[in-house]
Structures are given as structure tokens and as C-alpha cells.
Chain A
Amino acid sequence: MAVQAKKAPIEPKHPLDDLIRTDRMPHIWCPGCGIGTVFSSCLHAMLASGIDLDKTVMVSGIGCSGRGAGYAKVDSFHTTHGRAIPFATGMKVANPDLHMIVFSGDGDLFAIGGNHFIHAARRNIDMTVICINNLNYGMTGGQVAATTPSLARTTTTPLGNPDSPFNLPLLAYASGATYVARWTMLHTREVTDSIQTCLTRKGFSFVEVLAPCPVNYGRRNKERPLDTLKMYQDKTIIKNGANPAELGVDFKKRVVLGTFVDVERPTFTETYDKLYHKE
């Protein structure tokens, strides 16, 4: 138990304690994992945006990041592998008043759920998709993923990854997302602002957040968590409105961060209502 200093009043609570399921803390994420920071940014953004939290739903898929929904004290759903976006689409279409937040990882959203992602972006379903990109399949033991950089070592590519990784902002832009941004977990204030913008705007919004996976990715690529954060500090450059085709993740050169796309387009619900629910 906390021992109170003489003059200190009752110790205040953590500002996010009202929004997390404190009985489940500490969470399962490893020491140095970036998901916790993104999760906390997301909750800060939810508080700051002033949206009705009773009408906010957090949906996540499978993986380390998929545990996020289970820790948030809003209506939250932990869905099957890759199906976070279709689940959220169904809820949004059935009840258009809801604010949908899909909080998941790169393996869930872009490997098994890649097809769902591009179609939700194409149809412009009004939701916020937060992708924590830790460059590998962390929970299952660090296998090579669709976002693993070329030549990176993982358990299944011990001599280096022969494939090229996905460029997630380009994929989102090409599929028709109306808001695309990329940050690292070190840029927490920008991540929070970005998520806050997404929550208050209409349309399909996508935020990619690079985060370290010290246990499974970092260990095999000789990166300690603080080295990764140092790299995020030194090797990134913020360039809003950059051409999405030039946004590959290669830390040997520079990694471009920023808000790349911010356009308006009628959402699926609006167009559907106009055609089929004329009153």
C-alpha cells in the first residue's frame, strides 16, 4: 500500500484510470513494447475529443495489439483473426450513431485482414483504424510478416527477409481512405492529435504507428528498446502531405512521418441513406 507523505492529500488517480479496466492491469505487453503508449494516446484522444464515450466502441482483432480492446472501459469487442474491420462495419451500418475505433496490429489488419481493410477504405465506412506496426508477428513468436523490412531477421527468415514490405499509407491512399497518417510511438503528442482529429471527422481514417517489439523483433535484429526509440528520434522526418508512394519503412534512410491524406468524400452510410431511405 502507498504510504502517504504527511502533507500530501489523498493520492490522485492516474488520469486514465476511469477509462481502463484497472483490475486487468498490469497488462500483458512486454517491457519496452510500444503498444501501451499507443493505447494510452488513444484513450487520451478519446477523452480530449469530447465524443460520447457511451457511444464509442473499440474493436480489435487477434495479436498483441488485439488485447487493447480488452483493457478499455468502453464497449469493446475482441474479434476473430483479421475480422475487426468487418465487425466494426456491421456495427456502424446497424447503428450509425456509434463512433467506431479499430485498434489492431499490422498482422491482423494487413495480412489476414488485408482484403477487409481495402474494401472498408473503398466504401468509406466512417471509422478510425489505428494500426500498431511492430514489423513482425509478435505474439506468435516473431515470424516474418507482411510489413517486415527487407533483410530483417525473424524466426522464419533467419538469414534475412527476402520480400519487400507493404507501404501501408500508400495502400490506404490507393484504396480510398480519406485520412492517412503515420507516426512512431515516440511522437505521442502527434499520435494523440491525429487520433483526436480522426474521431471528430467523418470518413475512413487510418493512422499507422510504428512501435518497437523488443522481445521478438528487436532481439533478433540487435536493437534494444531504447536504441529503437533513439532511431525513431534520429532517423525520422516529418513531412505532411508527402507523396504516399515514397513512404517505405527503411531505417537506413529516412522514414517519413506526417499526415499524408486529408480529404472529404461522402461516407457509405450517407450515400446509402440517400438512395434507399428517402423520406
Chain B
Amino acid sequence: MDFWRVPLDAEEVIVSRGIVHFVEDRCKGCGYCIQFCPKKILQTSTRFNKKSYHPPEVTKPEECVNCHFCEIICPELAIYSVEAPGSEPGEAQQPDDAGDTCCPPVK
């Protein structure tokens, strides 16, 4: 997200990191999560699920801020995000490490 000026405390704020998970067989491909993700990190995949819909996939896993909006807008209860390990306030942030475990490939 672009700001026209950088907030004064931008360096002190710890942005939480999330990992997006899918229950792919529940997805019906409405695209609400893709359209309304504030970081625009989801896209339609080319895979098919059990009901022949294309479930979404994460393009930039390291950019998820764990806002849970995909989780609450999803009408199918098919997507959710959890806090990435090591990103709770007070702990040292390890964004490089978290990128590795993000979004396990789900078939």
C-alpha cells in the first residue's frame, strides 16, 4: 500500500505476518478473497478442486499481514490465515525464515 507520507512511527510498528491456508475442496471460486485482499497477494490458480472450481493461490506469501479479511469475507469457510511463527510482538521478526513455511502446497 502506498502512503503519500510515511507515518512518523513507521519504523517502530511491528507488522504481523500471516500464513494463508486453504480448504480447497470447499472453494467455489467466487473470487471475493482475490478481489478484496488488501495486499493483493491472491490469484486464481490453474488447479481444479474436487468440484472443478479453481481455488485461489498465494502469489507473494511474505506479504500477508494476517488481517483475516479473506477469512471473514469467504462465503465457503474455505480460507483462513494464522499468525506466522516468530512474528508476535516482542519476539524477533524473522521474515526470511517465515517465507519458507508459508502456504504449504495443498493439492
Contacts and interface: CB of A to CB of B under 8 A. Distances in A.
Given A4-B104, A8-B104, A11-B104, A29 B71 contact: no
Contact of B80 (A4, A14, A32, A192): A14
Given A37-B72, A44-B72, A186-B73, A8 B101 contact: yes
A25 B30 CA distance: 16
B104 A29 contact: no
Contact of A25 (B26, B29, B53, B73): B26
A16 interface: yes
B31 A40 contact: no
A11 B69 CA distance: 20
A48 to B, nearest CB: 12
Contacts of A5: 101, 104-105
B94 to A, nearest CB: 12
A263 interface: no
Contacts of B29: 31
Q: Chain B interface: which size bin?
A: 20 to 34
A26 B74 contact: no
A2 B106 contact: yes
Contacts of B101: 5, 7-8
A39 B82 CA distance: 21
Interface residues of A, number: 36
Given A2-B106, A26-B25, A34 B75 contact: yes
B73 A12 contact: no
B14 interface: no
Given A5-B101, A11-B21, A26-B51, A41 B30 contact: no
Contact of B77 (A7, A33, A40, A226): A40
Given A2-B104, A2-B107, A5-B101, A12 B21 contact: yes
Given A3-B106, A15-B80, A26 B32 contact: no
Contacts of B105: 3, 5
B106 A15 contact: no
A14 B26 CA distance: 12
B76 interface: yes
Interface of A is mostly: loop
B45 interface: no
B35 A229 contact: yes
Interface in A19-65: 20, 25-27, 29-37, 39-41, 44
Contact of B100 (A1, A7, A188, A229): A7
A15 B71 contact: yes
Contact of A20 (B36, B77, B104): B77
Interface in B51-107: 51, 53, 69, 71-78, 80, 82, 100-101, 104-107
Contact of B72 (A11, A35, A41): A41
Given A12-B21, A26-B26, A32-B30, A40 B75 contact: yes
Nearest to A37: B75
B28 interface: yes
B80 A29 contact: no
12 contacts: A2-B106, A3-B105, A5-B105, A11-B21, A11-B104, A16-B77, A26-B28, A31-B29, A33-B75, A34-B75, A37-B73, A40-B72
